[in-house]
Structure 1
Amino acid sequence: NMVVQQAIHRFQPFVNVKNATEQAREIGYDSVGHDLIFGLPFQTVEHIKSTIEKTKELMPDRIAFYSYAHVPWIKGNGQRGFKEEDLPTADVKREMYETGKRMLAEAGYVEIGMDHFALKSDTLYKAVENKKLHRNFMGYTSSKTKVMIGLGVSAISDSWTGFAQNVKTIEEYYEILEKGELPLYRGHILTEEDEKLRKHILNLMCNLETSWSDDKSYFPELPDVLIRLKEMEADGLISIEKDRLLIKEEGRPFVRNVCMAFDLLLQRSKPETQLFSMTV
């Protein structure tokens, strides 16, 4: 819809998407993905229906169906072409998601983890079947390596034991490269606690379940995490057993909320914030 695209300063005519999809397949890509966003300013449920109908004409192998993240404090004009009241309400966003999910299922797509859908012929679906799905900064992947190299200004690299980010200006980036050095300016080495929490969060995001039956998985704050999730258990969204947590089908839309309970850094930095409302 042109009104929506104008508000967010991102123009994606269908013909451009069609050409890019067809050209990707012509040069040998065996898995083509589309990103669809719901909850945009001026967007309606009818717009979602129209977008998915057009997407079905191209049948990409996988689809990311994201909720729009409203972050107007970030520099740039991308999110300043509209007012807060131009955004759909939480109830309308929920209807958009459920409508899109139903239409994608009818078209043959299977829900993968959170926000993603794939055809059964795609490697992403096969990774789920084989319990080999992985998630990184870029989303879900069936790749065998957990290492990700970030190229370019501000890019983040993941070595699995730590993270490193490149400098944020082009001038400084090339200046450091010309010296034969890596253009890094900050990073973080994972602690033992970080590694345990990552394991649980990735298990939940990729397999919708996690367990803590040994010392490699258990951490002292786990009882507090489970207490935070009791309300979701009472609502029938998750199941908590002696040493295992399972996200039920009804709880799929709330995978992020479950993961946030395991994010101790987030809990410690914003203990008074209604964290569960941040993903709506």
Structure 2
Amino acid sequence: MIFLSKPCFAFSFPHLARIMAEFLTPRNAQVGAKGLDMIASMKKTVWLVVLLLITICVGPLLSGPVAQAGDAAEFRSHGFSADKMGRYFAFEEFGTQDGSGFPFSNIYIVDLQTDKWVPQTPIRILLEDESQPQLAARIQAFQQATPLMEKYGISNSGVMMAASPLNEVSDKAQLEFRQSINPLLSNQLGSYRLQLSNIDVRDLNNCGFQNGRVMGFSLSLTKPNGQSTTLHDESTAPQSRGCPSQYHLIAVFAPNRHREATYAVALVGVFSQGFEGPDLRYIAVPFSF
């Protein structure tokens, strides 16, 4: 929405024209050369005021609404460990930092059994050079992450079971999917449903610009047999999230599509206040089939 400033309402352009006609037109032919010079100077001043008002009042109307900035990181799954359950999961978020324009890449390796990052992670790379491409930051992050990926056996690329990318017009609070290698024969198997809720939580980061309102989330999983389980619920948001304002369900990853007991991951998008607007980052929430 565009708001016009007070000067736009204080004077209309016909009003200004009347002012010029009233005060800048010589009423006495004998004003002399000095008087004419003064009137010419006053005319220039009034025209400058007119141009300024045009810039203030008409400029926003011509340019349209101003888009709010921020940065939405992309995500990539780097897969699961090769053990039967797929205990360890690696993923990356990367993009260009708002404000600075610096490329960044963060790689996380999560122990899905304990729901914690493994030691020495996450790996965070920020190239303080806006001329560098995102790929340069990603390469550095991956080089640092490779020894840890080898240590935890991250060699199974895994599969995407469901997805709702940022720009897709869909319900961002729910994802439904099946565990099957043959989708043509899977209707009889029933489906899994993830349900996300945004909830008010205590402000730990002095987010006064949001009127003290900080959002957390809860996440539940309903299995094909109708049994529902709460995967995540919170009364506070970790300080590492900054000032979160909203959450979206983004994707589901698993080691494979077979109907067997494995770990899986729900990727949740976190919107929090950045330097120029809302930034998007990601949280991996583990569950199991």
- Per the normalisation by structure 1, the TM-score is 0.25
Query: Quick check: which one's strand share is greater?
Result: 2
Q: Greater relative contact order: 1 or 2 (C-alpha under 8 angstroms, separation 6 or more)? A: 2
Q: Which has the larger radius of gyration?
A: 2
TM-score in terms of structure 2 length: 0.25
